[in-house]
Amino acid sequence: MTETQAPPSTPLIVVSNRLPFEVKREPSGVRFARASGGLVSALAPVLEARGGVWVGWTGIEQIEGETPAVPPADGGLRYRTVPLSAREVAAYYGGFSNGTIWPLFHYFVARVQIETATWRAYDRVNARFAEAAAAEGQADSLVWIHDYQLMRVPMHLRRLAPARRIGFFLHIPFPAADVFRILPWSRELMRGMLAADLVGFHIPEYADHFMHCAERLLGCDIDRGAGLVHFENREVSVQSWPISIDVAGVEALAAQAEPITTDAPGGITRILGVDRLDYTKGIAERIYAVERLLETHQEYRGKVQFTQLMVPSRERVAEYQALKREIDELVGRVNGRFSDRGWSPIRYLFRAVSPAELAAMYRETDIALVTPLRDGMNLVAKEFVACRLDGDGVLILSEMAGASYELQEAVIVNPYDVDAVAAALARALEMPEDERRARMTALRARVRSHDVHVWVKWFLDAAASAGHHRPLSPVDTVRRKLEHWLAGRARVALFLDFDGTLTPIVPEPSLAVLDEQGRQSLLLAARSPNVDVAVVSGRELADLRDKVGVEGLTYVGDHGFEIEGPGISYRHPAIQQYAAALDAVARDLEQLGVGGALVERKAATVSYHVRHVPEGERSAVLRRVVAIIRRHRLRRSYGKQSIEVRPPVEWHKGLAVLYLLQKRYGAEWASAVRPLYIGDDTTDEDAFRSLRGMGRSVLVASDGAAASAADYALPAPDSVHQLIRWIAAGGFAGAAR
């Protein structure tokens, strides 16, 4: 690719499936012609002024061995192609993009194709686009990624260029969670988009759906008011801002348009529909509505003509061929039924038209019938309004189009309700001139004040400010996830492991010390009227109380076999029942005489520590220990560099926590208190599992909670103390929704 020198300012990198060119392969080579359209006309000057690169596919399949064709540079704007083979186009574009995402996001669930091969191709091609974008610009360049074909690009780009500011805009609807999660790879698409700093949608409804999916599918904490999703210790800005058109350019075309000559009789009221051939556009339903109008309002026969301009699209796809046949037959049937004396109710055009010709059609149309079954925005509605230089005309608009959120002065209809659309047509035909002009004046003012140039400026400004949020600390992340849940009850039952949770792991259990910060945190929690604190440990109860030394807490020792606290004193019967067997195990373990090993006999259990046993000897030592435990018919569990020997009864930290909750709050404790358990050890996993669904749990581990039953993770005891202080201060109060 021929490179041109970029201006010294930080460039903008635009990434879209297609480059902004019409491309044709001719005998003399590949010919490029700049595509028309609002987005191109708005972005090209920005890219040229600040310097930039447009990354995309040319639209022609790459032939093996052929040098990829690249459009020539245009001032400060360069182009970078992502070559795609015929197989890649079929799988990535025709397959997953248009066979899976397109119907799903437009709620045509029965048309969705679920194929692992096309998903993999989609992800691979998205990675290629990301590589092309990463190779351009500077470390802090802004990359603006467009639309549903490239939803995984932000994630791949974030890995390749972590410092890039990334914006993503989706130009189609984003579906509700119950529809979106039909897709087996819904979470992967969410992770792809959430790697951006700013994710943009046309209307608030789509942004709300996206944030709900982030919360429901990925467990993200969201702030709907601020439009923020907290994902992987970052704040992702989620905003809505509807795209528009180049109003000045469209108005200029309308002003210069030549009158259209037709063979229709004079005095005809013109109705217009303009669509690409697609099942989402509601073309057949629209024709049925015209037929219903002529059935129910015979006075309009011979006095109205509906022109349907249908632009060819995906003509080689079987279902689109079938759709065209259906529309062809429908038009023929309606015309055959109602045509009379040189008048036909439907004028059917199946071809592409130039922007100038389309502007002329808009200008001379009396009623625009824009009734897609689902549409992210629909710019036809805005183009029609911009072309109404005379301030007259009626726009009938589907409530399923994003444009209906803005263009409220249109006549809004449900496109599936044929009778309602026919009634709207009758209303438009009968509407007084002053009402038509009042509606159109308001529509024109809104479209003119918010054209595509304003939209581009908004996105660039929003993207520039996004990504500068303070990264969330691990404590902030957990706090945000917990606050709404905790606020659902008046009281919190806080269960805390000791070693590795309240204190760092030390070489010898006797060396563990609760520092002053930790002690003050527990004192604050103990004094809080809404917090009930229990320290749960494998340590013997007396040792645990001595190590913590805070009055008013509940102490759960020996993995739950001993419990002491306000209003409760409990010793499990197995302590006495298996005392002799535990004494015998402790004696046999001592007699092993392993250097560096430590035997700790507690009231209800025995711990065998191997932290100081040479690493190469530990496996053999542990096998001998297990044999002794089996000989005495006792149970074992594994801690950090230790084996815990227990009575052979079904009792552990998790059951002890449930016992304590029931004793303190009654059988219906789940409606009275929010239990939160924080621990670091494999023995704490029993508590994590016991509270699943009824409480929340936090694993203290530097490498996160991926292999744990815990809900969340904190890296170290000091972060646990921060969380305790926040809970003790009642920081979650009032957060309930």
Q: Are 246 and 41 in contact (CB under 8 A)?
A: yes
Neighbours of 689 (CB within 10 A): 15
Residue 512 half-sphere exposure toward CB, CA atoms < 13 A: 23
Scan for tokens 């250097």, then name that residue: 595
Q: Quick one: which of 117, 66, 61 has its CA closest to 92?
A: 117
How far, in whole angstroms, is CA 50 from its chain's centroid? 31
The DSSP string of 481-495 is HHHHHHTTSS-EEEE
Decide if 232 contacts 158 (C-beta within 8 A). no
| One-letter amino acid of 207 | A
Distance from C-alpha of 664 to C-alpha of 671, rounded to nearest angstrom = 13
According to DSSP, residue 16 is labeled: E
Sheet holding 346-350, edge to edge: 346-350, 304-311, 269-276, 367-370, 394-398, 411-413
Catalytic residue (choose from 208, 221, 497, 558): 497
Closest listed residue to residue 192, CA positions, set 139, 241, 149, 142: 149
Nearest-angstrom CA–CA distance, 74 and 77: 5
Q: Please give the DSSP secondary-structure letter assigned to residue 559.
A: G
What are residue 286's DSSP bridge partners? none
Whether 371 and 282 have beta carbons less than 8 Å apart is answered as: yes
- Residue-by-residue DSSP string for 282-321: -HHHHHHHHHHHHHH-GGGTTTEEEEEEEE---TTSHHHH
Rounded to an integer, what distance in angstroms lies between the CA atom of residue 194 and that of residue 612? 45
Which residue has 């090993």 as its token pair? 597
DSSP-assigned beta bridge partners for residue 275: 310
Provide the terminal-to-terminal Cα distance of the chain, rounded to the nearest Å.
55
Q: CA 48 to CA 51: how far, in whole Å? A: 5
What does the radius of gyration of the chain's CA atoms come to, in whole angstroms? 34
Closest CA to 460 of 78, 20, 80, 11: 11
Find out whether 388 and 364 touch, Cβ atoms under 8 Å: no
Q: CA-to-CA distance for 455 and 82, rounded, in angstroms?
A: 27
The CA–CA distances, whole Å, from 416 to 287, 288, 310, 400 equal 12, 10, 19, 10
Our answer to whether residue 703 is catalytic in this structure is no
CA distances from 212 to 149, 488, 507 (A): 22, 19, 46
Tokens of 473: 């600390």
- CA dist 149 and 126 (Å) reads 8
The catalytic site residues sit at 497
